[in-house]
A and B are shown apart, each in its own frame.
Chain A
Amino acid sequence: MDDPLIIAGKSLKSRFLLGTGKFKNKSELTETILKSGAEIVTVALRRIDLERHADNILAFIPENITLMTNTSGARNAAEAIRIAQIARAAGYGNWIKIEVINDSKYLLPDNAETIKAVEKLASDGFIVLPYMNPDLYTARDLVKAGAAAVMPLGSLIGSNQGLKTKTMLEILIEEIDEVPIIVDAGIGRPSQAAQALEMGVAAVLVNTAVATADQPVLMAQAFSKSIEAGRMAYLAKLASASDLASASSPLSGALFE
């Protein structure tokens, strides 16, 4: 099935983006990435050892994977911009996930500051994927600012609560067709990832649900299959739901003629 995901002109087979935090050991991270089929992984710049010690996280990311550094720790647009610039200057490419969070309890993204950071970084040639609270006005502003995708949260980051923001996501799916919509936070189970893809989001980014599973590699494989299934269901067009029963083998009436 030829159904690539296109982000900033890059064609991807996988609709599974993987976060690299919280893994209990780094060699398991490598195998998880490989088995997940993910082609883009995100790494916090704050976790990268620029001196490249032996346990530098980057040494555990397979070569053919697109690295998208993220601005974890940024509290405002200016800090996110500086982190992005450090990442690019250090040679980690120009794919950047913008994360501007100024609330350490709920870890909700600051949409207004995120828009400012995207404007600046997109105009400086970065491929910018902003993490956002699902809000239509913000999504439109991010598209105007040059975002390569918008990444609304499904529920609080790390909460594994699934698509609590479903109604808002549906609005974004309906209205934002210029760039892919990638659900970035809160997906705790493969079935929730499938649900997101069935709804019509272009991809999902998952971290906690995989990294903190007892068997991350197996869980990544489960997500991979569910994401593929969700996408196939979306393309196939879901049958409508009804309150009434509808026979699977309806009588045509021919018996009584």
Chain B
Amino acid sequence: MNKDAARTLTRQHFGRTIGLYTPLYISNYCDNHCVYCGFHSQREIKRKKLSSAEIEKECQILHASGIQNILILTGESRLHSPVSYIKEAVEIAKKYFPNIALEVYPLETEEYHELFLAGVDGITLYQETYDQAIYQKLHLAGEKKNFTFRYEAPFRMAQAGIRHITLGILLGLADWEKDIQALFVHLKKLWKTYPGVEYALSFPRLQKIEPDHSSSFPVSDADLLNIIVTARSLFPRVGINLSTRESAALRDSLFEFGVTRMSAGSSTVVGGYAGPEEAEGQFPVCDRRSLKEIKEMLRQKGYDPVITDWRRITNESI
């Protein structure tokens, strides 16, 4: 499929609309050692975990910006970000946002269910790479070493009732063509087992954070476009996210060919909206435009920025 056909398919299924969300980092503590990551446990960076009052402050600032969809990133540390802490953050965020998603380390089914009942409707989890040999080399310590527990996590999310599940790989860690195929197989298995869930894919590219690690598997802009077009052609109904890791120019030129959701007004710093910046970001934000600027760009390109696309209802066991 060429990119024009992918654009047509996307418009048929989603219209000329793009959903917008903003990430909220509440902690950057980590129990793992992923050699490529800016937050890993062995790295000496300023660590921070937001208090309830600080989470509330961040929420107030984001709410004032007009955003309605929030993605809370918890850090991969059961010790510093236990489920009880995450649940507390969700309870606070619920007062401000009708749609809450999490990017959280893999949990047990009961834990996902507890968060679902608390008001979480979406969860994002990246397998990083599906190449198990490379996975073991890249993940040296922590729970994340357990490839299978991570692979099976989206099944547990779906079983727990989560409505939106986002999967992805970190492009640049391994041969992307093989990883993409494995991601698609993963998605197909999930969709077959849990057809009621709304699925999305995300394709972040590795950025040079850790000085010791530079990508051995570079992914060009043309490759990224190819990946998005392929995903759209194989899964016409899947959501595709494009984050502020990518530059404004690239996002503006790529999004029409399959993307359905974009982040806007992002900070990857814990407490970064209230500032001053006391901690380091997981990766540098390349597209620093505000929500207002992203909305304006979309309108100029003939797209409707969708701010409200879910209205929380009381979640009950299904």
Residues in chain B near residue A56, CB distance under 8 A:
308
Residues in chain B near residue A75, CB distance under 8 A:
163, 196, 318
Q: Is the CB of A104 within 8 A of B15?
A: no
B17 CB contact (under 8 Å) in A24, A45, A50, A55: A24
- The verdict on A165 contacting chain B, using a C-beta distance below 8 Å, is no
- The verdict on B283 contacting chain A, using a C-beta distance below 8 Å, is no
Please, how many residues of chain A have a CB less than 8 angstroms from a CB on the other chain? 34
Residues in chain B near residue A158, CB distance under 8 A:
12-13
Q: Is the CB of B304 within 8 A of A23?
A: yes
- CB < 8 Å A-B pair total: 81
A48 CB contact (under 8 Å) in B16, B163, B308: B308
**Cα distance A60–B308 in the bound complex, in angstroms:** 15
Secondary structure of the A contact surface, majority rule: loop
**Cα distance A79–B196 in the bound complex, in angstroms:** 13
Instruction: Kindly identify, within residues 291 to 318 of chain B, every residue whose CB is under 8 Å from any CB belonging to chain A.
Output: 299, 302-311, 313-314, 316, 318
Q: Is the CB of B17 within 8 A of A86?
A: no
- Residues 97-122 of A, flagged 1 when their CB comes within 8 A of B and 0 if not, give 00001111101000000000000000
Q: Is the CB of B12 within 8 A of A160?
A: yes
- The verdict on A76 contacting chain B, using a C-beta distance below 8 Å, is yes
**Cα distance A117–B311 in the bound complex, in angstroms:** 19
A85 to nearest B CB, angstroms? 9
Residue of A nearest to B299 (CB): A25
Q: Is the CB of A46 within 8 A of B68?
A: no
- The verdict on B195 contacting chain A, using a C-beta distance below 8 Å, is yes
**Cα distance A167–B3 in the bound complex, in angstroms:** 37
Known A24-B303, A25-B304, A212-B12: A79·B313 in contact at CB below 8 Å: yes
Q: What are 16 of the A-B contact pairs (CB < 8 Å)?
A: A21-B15, A23-B15, A23-B304, A24-B303, A25-B304, A47-B306, A47-B309, A48-B311, A53-B307, A55-B305, A73-B310, A75-B163, A75-B196, A78-B316, A83-B313, A212-B12
